[in-house]
Amino acid sequence: MKKQAILALEDGKVFKGYSFGAEGETAGEVVFNTSMTGYQEILTDPSYKGQMVCMTYPLIGNYGVNKEDVESRQPYVEGFIVKESSRIYSNWRAATDLGSYLKKYKIVGIEGIDTRSLTKHLRERGAKKGVISTKDLNPVSLVKKAKRSPGLVGRDLIKEVMCKKPYTWNKKGKFHVVAIDSGIKLNILRNLEKRNCRVTVVPATATKEAILKYKPDGLFLSNGPGDPKALPYIVDTVKGLIGKMPVFGICLGHQILALAFGGKTFKMKFGHHGGNQPVIDVHSKRVEITAQNHGFAVDMNSISKKEMVLTHVNLNDRTCEGMEHKKLPVFSVQHHPEAAPGPHDATHHFDRFIEMMRKRKK
């Protein structure tokens, strides 16, 4: 017999369903992801720390879970919400089913709710703090708990997902890249390795002096969770490194770079989460379908156009998706060119970073 579970949002909306994965109670900001596949990569993306993810595709788990498709050392979502969790899985790489995987890592899940209704609610009202529980089935009590939960605004969550000490990803390579780990996805490191880079990954708390000691050819600013405004120590570090080497930022790294140039970021209504976001390059007019996961965005009007200029725009809501410095080898994108899950339209940004380092070496 299935165990009951309830999802309650801070605005009083309640969804009744059934438990899958771990039992218990968990809180976080509830967002929806429009990817049809790639649930394992989504679960293990550190950028989801502090959030509970609702998958819009109705059947999740049908190809199981394997050892290769992880994007970090463990799942970081606070909770997982699906219409139907498949007990039967079929794939030659699969090692276990989704429910067992969530249970192993103590991730509370809920299934059997109307995920279309939840997604529509979040689109209309915005992302909401929520609670999933299998032990407290009182809707009034859970709504109160959701209201009291911390949310994302003003929170520094990267210290919970970053590496604790520096490590080398690839020991050989023509270019030496230092990557500031704010919750870096493994496919970023794989893409750099594929392009002949030796990567030293350092914690987000690393100082400018510590990074310069590595004498890197380039600096990479990773993705990560939480509010970029809560990270002044990284912003100060990046400020001190601009102009000393090529810099490439992705997602949170893009936002950190904007703050380093005196810009501002803002909380989006419901963010971008999924693998079908259209982005246009304002120079070439080329449109790419991109993978995205972010709830904050850069206000380009707050940055001096004498330094940074807009390069990419989201075609759904016209928000900033990329920028570059007018003179220095510095650029960033809000979306995820490393994908995992796809699509892979934007992987060429890694090639641009390599070319910047190549020119600097010459």
- Phi, psi (rounded to 5 degrees) for 234: -70, -40
Q: At 280, which amino acid appears?
A: I
Q: At 292, which amino acid appears?
A: Q
- Strand 287-299 relative to strand 308-314, pairing: unpaired
Q: Which of 196, 223, 335 is nearest to 276 (CA)?
A: 335
CA angle 294, 297, 301 (to 5 degrees): 165
**Secondary structure element (H or E) that encloses residue 79, with its range:** strand 79-81
**Secondary structure element (H or E) that encloses residue 188, with its range:** helix 186-194
CA 177, CA 350: separation in Å to the nearest integer?
Answer: 12
- Catalytic residue positions? 251, 336, 338
65 and 93 Cβ atoms separated by less than 8 Å: no
CA angle 265, 321, 178 (to 5 degrees): 80
220 and 178 Cβ atoms separated by less than 8 Å: yes
Per the listing, tokens 């990267």 go with: 158
